[in-house]
């Protein structure tokens, strides 16, 4: 029997024509799947607060003369640090540059930002095909281009009208893993490339770090059976060099030595140094250590180096829980849709179902090659990665693209396996292949469709909130502080010149808590102290969102948010008008 994990084609390169075709197919499916949102996008609407904040940050960077980490107009007028990688910003600017002379920078940046959705889908399709092709001999690599854009874990972050790096970061991770697979087969150029792409993935977003490191760790495991030190040194050097160069040109707001765990910082540059050091040590052992002690010394050395790094930056182990104090965590994360758990059957089926199918297949491959420890261990490491991705998604849906990408990336491998095992019964093989392609998609959508079918229809005349339609309403508030829903602030900054109280970014936690307390404090007959502490001169509110917002959950009936939701207006608020479902109030000066 052939080793059930062996590379079918050790180089398995993809031609430029193949990559282009895969990218176009995935981009086209993404656009078709976004048919309902495209009309709104054409009228200037985006579908995620981060999308607006991304464009606001880039636009303010233009005014400053360089890309920035600071956003003005939030936090009651204080500068707000938004620590996103500037790599994605640079991509948007590069895409917008050819359009700017014809339509202006504002529209060009909007168009370029919207284009990143289909482009990221195309890059993901290419990345997954590239990662899978060494295990399939280049066959069935079209599957991710069709499956991935349809999985909810991908679609949630890739609808046309969302401008963010969630899908691009997974694509970079997939490319890094594809390079690592080829490096494991002895390709020295791919070893350098694995380090480069792994570093780019972490530069894009450190959420990728566990999966990049697991990929390198799989090669380290293979080192126990083969002398791969010369390959590992190249991976470590490329990885460390990329991270340190990226840190030099894109440091955190506090400087190169400021530790941040949710963006590229000294934390991850030191990780690159730790991995490079470990790789040099393994190469030294390949050359000088006795065969009987080589493996044990390598394991001890690599473990010690990683332990030292983790001891230096223990907050990394806490992940999102290391970003903000525990006391405020429940309130803050409870207001962010992406940070909610996968706690319903429909969500579990759509976000975790494909991953469980993928995990079952990985364990099947592990069992088949259990007598070949070199390959069995690689499949077991893949199972650890997918289990980690699914576990993180179960806790916070912001990780949902990872298990979905795992499942889509495994599809070509499973299709190749079916074709090989059932070559003598082509009809059965065709049936199994068809089922494999569509089962993840069906599993992901059927529970949600069944749930939707049981719901009563939404009345067609229900009030809706549209800040685009309400922009002119805010003219009297230009340059003044406006108390509103924190999730609305990024769009408010994008469309108007008002100042928000607080938004959903952890460096602005105190501003968010001021906003949260202002909405939940008893309204009373005079302006409450919690509202006065925000410095707000105006209040903007939409009743259509009132009952569904976390700002009102558990609040007293006489608190400001529930009161406005019920249609009552405190005496210290003066109604100024309404548009797009929003009502603007001025805080009466006499109430101060």
Q: Could you report the per-residue pLDDT of 169-224, keeping only the tens digit for each?
A: 999 999 999 999 999 998 999 999 999 999 999 999 999 999 999 999 999 999 99
Per DSSP, 582 falls in state: E
d(CA 332, CA 125): 34
Task: Please provide the DSSP assignment of 195-229 as one string.
Answer: HHHHHHHHHH-GGGHHHHHHHHHHHHHHHTTS--H
d(CA 6, CA 231): 18
Q: Output phi, psi for 540, to 5 deg.
A: -120, 130
104-118, 388-402, 442-456, 514-528: range with lowest mean pLDDT? 442-456
Pairing status of strand 582-587 against strand 573-579: antiparallel
Instruction: Enumerate residues 6+ apart whose C-beta is below 8 A from 311.
Output: none
pLDDT band per the 50, 70, 90 thresholds, residue 349: confident
State the burial class of residue 39 (Cβ atoms within 10 Å of its Cβ: 0-12, 13-18, 19+).
exposed
d(CA 374, CA 554): 55
The tokens 């975790």 sit on which residue?
Answer: 352
Please report, for residues 139, 218, 422, 424, the alpha-carbon distance to residue 427 in angstroms, rounded to integers and kept in the order given: 19, 36, 9, 9
Q: What is the pLDDT of residue 102?
A: 96
Q: Output phi, psi for 200, to 5 deg.
A: -65, -40
Model confidence pLDDT, tens digit, residues 427-475: 888 888 888 888 877 777 777 666 666 565 555 555 688 999 999 999 9
CB 50 within 8 A of CB 164: yes
Q: What is the pLDDT of residue 452?
A: 62
Q: What is the pLDDT of residue 588?
A: 87
Q: Which two tokens stand for residue 590?
A: 């006499």
pTM equals 0.93
Q: Which two tokens stand for residue 160?
A: 């046309």
The tokens 């002119």 sit on which residue?
Answer: 472
CATH number, span 467-591: 3.40.50
65-74, 123-132, 194-203: range with lowest mean pLDDT? 65-74
Cβ-count burial 89-98 (b if 16+ within 10 Å, e if not): bebbbebbee
Domain boundaries, the chain: 197-323, 467-591
Helix (H, G, I), strand (E, B) or coil at 474: helix
Task: Please provide the DSSP assignment of 306-338 as one string.
Answer: HHHHHHH-THHHHGGGGSS-HHHHHHHHHT-GG
Q: What is the pLDDT of residue 42?
A: 95
């Amino acid at each position: 029997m052939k080793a059930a994990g062996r590379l079918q084609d050790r180089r398995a390169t993809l031609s430029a024509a193949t990559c282009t075709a895969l990218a176009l197919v995935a981009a086209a499916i993404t656009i078709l799947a976004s048919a309902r949102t495209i009309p709104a996008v054409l009228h200037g609407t985006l579908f995620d607060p981060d999308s607006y904040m991304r464009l606001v940050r880039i636009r303010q960077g233009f005014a400053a003369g360089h890309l920035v980490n600071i956003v003005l107009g939030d936090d009651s007028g204080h500068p707000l640090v938004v620590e996103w990688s500037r790599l994605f910003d640079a991509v948007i600017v590069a895409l917008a540059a050819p359009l700017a002379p014809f339509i202006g920078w504002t529209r060009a940046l909007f168009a370029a930002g919207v284009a990143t959705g289909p482009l990221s889908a195309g890059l993901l399709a290419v990345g997954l095909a590239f990662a899978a092709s060494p295990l399939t001999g280049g066959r069935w690599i079209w599957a991710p281009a069709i499956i991935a854009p349809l999985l909810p874990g991908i679609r949630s972050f890739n609808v046309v009208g969302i401008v963010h790096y969630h899908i691009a970061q997974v694509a970079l991770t997939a490319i890094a893993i594809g390079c690592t697979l080829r490096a494991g087969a002895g390709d020295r150029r791919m070893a350098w490339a694995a380090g480069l792409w792994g570093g780019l993935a972490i530069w894009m977003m450190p959420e990728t770090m566990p999966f990049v490191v697991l990929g390198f760790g799989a090669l380290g495991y293979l080192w126990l059976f083969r002398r791969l030190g010369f390959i590992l040194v190249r991976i470590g050097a490329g990885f460390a060099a990329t991270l340190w160069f990226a840190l030099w040109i894109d440091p955190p707001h506090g400087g190169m030595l400021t530790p941040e765990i949710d963006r590229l910082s000294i934390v991850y540059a030191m990780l690159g140094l730790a991995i490079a050091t470990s790789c040099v040590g393994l190469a030294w052992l390949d050359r000088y250590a006795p065969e009987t002690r080589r493996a044990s010394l390598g394991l001890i050395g690599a473990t010690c180096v990683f332990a030292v790094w983790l001891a230096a930056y223990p907050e990394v182990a806490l992940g999102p829980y290391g970003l903000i104090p525990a006391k405020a965590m429940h309130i803050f994360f409870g207001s962010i849709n992406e940070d909610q758990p996968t706690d319903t059957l429909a969500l579990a089926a759509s976000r975790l179902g494909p991953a469980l199918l993928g995990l079952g297949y990985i364990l099947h491959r592990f069992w088949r090659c259990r007598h070949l420890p070199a390959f069995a261990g690689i499949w077991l490491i893949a199972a650890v990665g997918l289990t980690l991705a699914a576990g993180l998604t179960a806790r916070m849906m912001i990780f949902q693209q990872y298990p979905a990408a795992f499942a889509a990336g495994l599809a070509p491998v499973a299709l190749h396996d079916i074709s090989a095992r059932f070559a003598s019964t082509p009809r059965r093989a065709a049936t199994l292949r068809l089922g494999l392609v569509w089962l993840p998609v069906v599993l992901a959508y059927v529970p949600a469709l069944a749930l939707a079918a049981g719901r009563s229809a939404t009345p067609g005349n229900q009030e809706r909130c549209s800040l685009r339609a309400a922009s002119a309403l805010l003219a009297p508030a230009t340059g003044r502080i406006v108390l509103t829903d924190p999730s609305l602030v990024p769009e408010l900054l994008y469309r108007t010149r008002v100042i928000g109280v607080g938004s959903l970014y952890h460096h602005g936690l105190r501003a968010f808590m001021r906003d949260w307390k202002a909405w939940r404090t008893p309204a009373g007959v005079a302006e409450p102290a919690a509202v006065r502490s925000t410095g707000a001169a105006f209040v903007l509110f939409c009743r259509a969102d009132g009952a569904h917002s976390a700002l009102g959950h558990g609040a007293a009936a006489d608190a400001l948010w529930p009161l406005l939701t019920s249609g009552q207006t405190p005496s210290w608020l003066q109604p100024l008008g309404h548009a797009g479902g929003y009502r603007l109030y001025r805080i009466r000066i006499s109430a101060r």
